[in-house]
Structure 1
Amino acid sequence: MTKTENDHTDRTTALEVVEGVDLTGRRALVTGASSGIGVETARALAHAGAQVTLAVRDTEAGRRVADDIAATSGRDDLVVAALDLSDLASVDALVASWEGPLHVLVNNAGVMDTPFGRTAQGWETQFGVNHLGHFALTTGLHAALAAGASPERGARAVSVSSSGHAASPVVFDDLFFERRAYDPGLAYGQSKTANSLFAVELTRRWGSEGITANALMPGGIWTPLQRHWSDEQRAAAEEQSRRAEQSGAFRMKSVEQGAATSVFLATSPQVEGIGGRYFEDCHEAEVVERLDGLAGVLPHALDPEDARRLWEVSEELLSDARR
């Protein structure tokens, strides 16, 4: 497996990634673009010349972000679209409203460590939002992505995964914790493994059409993603991160740095035609048997048979839900 060589590091920002990149004439859609790294992902794409759609639950927050990005990028063509990934009706409405080609889709939105809950379709919340919602969105936009691909420049999907994938493979026999005790960390880990597997199978299925997908770990970043943690959990995590930084195991990132790998996969000529892989710090991650801090990807997150099975199961779940 060839590594992607460049000068980017864990300190590189999203805007630094797009220096010299021209996205004029290309259209991008970023989910969860009203907070966290989604904001900086959308900002960098706009700065590079893309026409960006911010797909968000809170459209008022999305409009505030769009206004801010317009002021910093000079672009006046940002679009805010309503998207609730916990409800297929919302996903299908966005898909139905989309017109024309799509060149870049960044599946960035997500929830983490939520209390047990269910989506509108009755699916466990984290798997339903993080994977199935994005699966429905991406497959619904397949024709738009195909229209956006050309022999010179393909269309790209970007799947924001996490080192949390190490907590759990996809447990096909009990996806929604109906026969085992619910554990927020395991549920999150399963959904992040699914995000990576989705990129593997999408590339296998759609690569011949010029559409590729890669997954990524953004890094350790303090964002609203941790809002479901208790005060004790947050304090423990902050202490753990301090110790890890002191030991040199890893460094926490700003949101601008955390968005860099998403933007790299969405824009860099270095990954043109490359798909089905997992990246960190703008480099392809090493496949390892155990994570060293936050670095590396476990084999179960790239397993082609699990990726194929997940796609088929996801199609069945969507089909059943729409009947």
Structure 2
Amino acid sequence: MMTSTRVSTPFTNETTALEVVRGVDLTGRRAVVTGGASGIGVETARALAQAGADVTLAVRNPSAGQEALADITATTGNDRILVAPLDLADLGSVAAFVANWDGPLHILVDNAGIMAAPEMRTPQGWEMQFATNHLGHFALATGLHPALAAAGGARIVSVSSAAHLRSPVVFDDIHFARRAYDPWLAYGQSKTANVLFAVEATRRWAGDGILVNALHPGAIRTNLQRYVSDEELERMRAQTGGTAGAGYWKTTEQGAATSVLLAASPLLDGVGGRYFEDCQEAGPNQPGTRTGYAPYAVDPEAAERLWQVSEDMLRD
């Protein structure tokens, strides 16, 4: 659904999440933020709460979730914050979250993830980054589809990364059964899947009033990088592009801004299937840069294939 008319906003790479929701009223809207206890997740949840939304922090560590809840309530005055357990690598946990959800859901922010992890596998034998970053969120979104459709005008935010430029989805060997495991290729593949999900979910669900967009939040130091060495982080920082230029780190408040834009801003009404960075819709990647989207990440045939492959994996 990429079009020649790109969405532009008055916001920049330095805008914070709270600045994005200034003047936005989400009273009566219900939001779920996966990974909402730390990093850009907690700042995304804070901004949605500041705008008046009822926010559920879907987290793997409920005690950390309770700490985030107390912090968000204290800073926003919003006491309609909940914590619910969710382990995206455990399909039973995802199913339980879906089963416990009642009523409409207006905003789903697929924020949680792992980056450049050493080789790990789920009980099904799935590569852990693909299983967590894509399949878990896919199961969550499809499971919550009735709640999203019931909201009338729901939005899903798929947090991807410029790392999607590292790899397409390698359909012939998604789980590194026949090729040597590479943590960055695995991460990149999972982040490409996050963009492809936005493309295909919008195609399938726009008729239900559900629109899905993907984004690169920018370079931010968070717990996401717990598997990445300091040397590797410095090398990444030196390569980081975006409108901020090379070597720029965002704060978590700035890193959450694009997620919040896609979740809550009226500037995104009617927009779906697109990829954003620095609070602007991105164009195609140009050789030698680390900005924009790879053509394979918005390819409608790949998006449809990934959806089918994902359904088949979850069905087995």
The TM-score with structure 1 as length reference comes to 0.94
Equivalent residue number for residue 124 of structure 2:
121
Equivalent residue number for residue 309 of structure 2:
313
Q: How does 1:288-307 map to 2 (within 5 A)?
A: 288-290=285-287, 292-293=289-290, 295-307=291-303
Residue by residue over 1:146-188, the C-alpha shift from the partner in whole angstroms, topping out at 9 and shown as x without a partner, is 0011xxxx10000000000000000000000001000000000
Amino acid aligned to 1:265: L
Equivalent residue number for residue 61 of structure 1:
64
Equivalent residue number for residue 194 of structure 1:
193
Q: Does 1:207 align with 2:203?
A: no
Equivalent residue number for residue 46 of structure 1:
49
* 8 Å Cα contact 2:44/2:256 also seen in 1: yes
Residue 55 to residue 254, structure 1, CA distance change in 2 (3 Å): same
SS state of the match for residue 276, structure 2? strand
Amino acid aligned to 2:199: V
Equivalent residue number for residue 219 of structure 1:
218
* 8 Å Cα contact 2:114/2:224 also seen in 1: yes
Q: Which residue of 14, 19, 23 corresponds with 2:22?
A: 19
Residue by residue over 1:170-221, the C-alpha shift from the partner in whole angstroms, topping out at 9 and shown as x without a partner, is 0000000001000000000000000000000000000011001000000011
Q: Which residue of 12, 18, 25 corresponds with 1:9?
A: 12
Tell me how far 1:261 sits from its aligned partner: 0.2
Tell me how far 1:4 sits from its aligned partner: 1.5
5+ residue gaps in structure 1?
A: none
* 8 Å Cα contact 2:241/2:289 also seen in 1: no
Distance in 2 between residues matched to 1:211 and 1:5, nearest whole Å: 21
Distance in 2 between residues matched to 1:256 and 1:76, nearest whole Å: 21
Q: Does 1:77 align with 2:80?
A: yes
Amino acid aligned to 1:18: V
Tell me how far 1:244 sits from its aligned partner: 7.2
Residue 188 to residue 74, structure 1, CA distance change in 2 (3 Å): same
Tell me how far 1:251 sits from its aligned partner: 2.2
Tell me how far 1:83 sits from its aligned partner: 0.3
Amino acid aligned to 1:279: F
Tell me how far 1:311 sits from its aligned partner: 0.2
* 8 Å Cα contact 1:289/1:299 also seen in 2: no
Equivalent residue number for residue 268 of structure 2:
271
Distance in 1 between residues matched to 2:216 and 2:234, nearest whole Å: 23
Deviates more, 1:114-123 or 1:187-196: 114-123
* 8 Å Cα contact 1:18/1:48 also seen in 2: yes
Amino acid aligned to 1:216: L
Distance in 2 between residues matched to 1:186 and 1:48, nearest whole Å: 37
Q: Does 1:143 align with 2:140?
A: no
Tell me how far 1:235 sits from its aligned partner: 4.6
Residue 291 to residue 2, structure 1, CA distance change in 2 (3 Å): farther
Amino acid aligned to 1:309: R
* 8 Å Cα contact 2:285/2:294 also seen in 1: yes
Distance in 1 between residues matched to 2:110 and 2:84, nearest whole Å: 14
Distance in 2 between residues matched to 1:200 and 1:173, nearest whole Å: 21
SS state of the match for residue 226, structure 2? helix
The TM-score with structure 2 as length reference comes to 0.96
Residue 40 to residue 135, structure 1, CA distance change in 2 (3 Å): same
Amino acid aligned to 1:45: L
Equivalent residue number for residue 100 of structure 2:
97
SS state of the match for residue 315, structure 2? helix
Could you say what the CA RMSD is over the residues aligned between the two structures, in angstroms? 1.5
* 8 Å Cα contact 1:119/1:129 also seen in 2: no
Tell me how far 1:231 sits from its aligned partner: 4.1
Q: After TM superposition, which residue ranges in structure 1, 4 or more long, deviate above 6 angstroms? A: none
